[in-house]
Amino acid sequence: MNRRELAQMIDHTLLKPEATAADVARLVDQGVALGVYSVCVSPSLLPIDARGLHVAVVCGFPSGAHAPETKAAEAALAVARGADEVDMVINLGLAKAGDWEGVYLDIDTVRQAVPAPTVLKVIIESAVLTDEEIVLACQAAKAAGADFVKTSTGFHPAGGATTQAVRLMKDTVGPQLQVKASGGIRTLEAAEAMIEAGATRLGLSGTAAILDELG
71 tagged catalytic: no
174: left (phi over 0), alpha (psi -120 to 50) or beta: left
**Burial, 102: exposed, middle or buried (Cβ in 10 Å; 0-12, 13-18, 19+)?**
middle
180 tagged catalytic: yes
87 tagged catalytic: yes
Name the active-site residue from 11, 87, 108, 147.
Answer: 87
Chain CA centroid to CA 178, Å:
11
Helical segments of the chain, H only: 3-7, 21-34, 68-80, 92-96, 100-113, 131-143, 163-173, 188-197, 207-212
Name the active-site residue from 71, 121, 142, 180.
Answer: 180
CA-to-CA distance for 11 and 14, rounded, in angstroms?
10
Name the active-site residue from 71, 121, 142, 150.
Answer: 150
Q: Which residues are catalytic?
A: 87, 150, 180
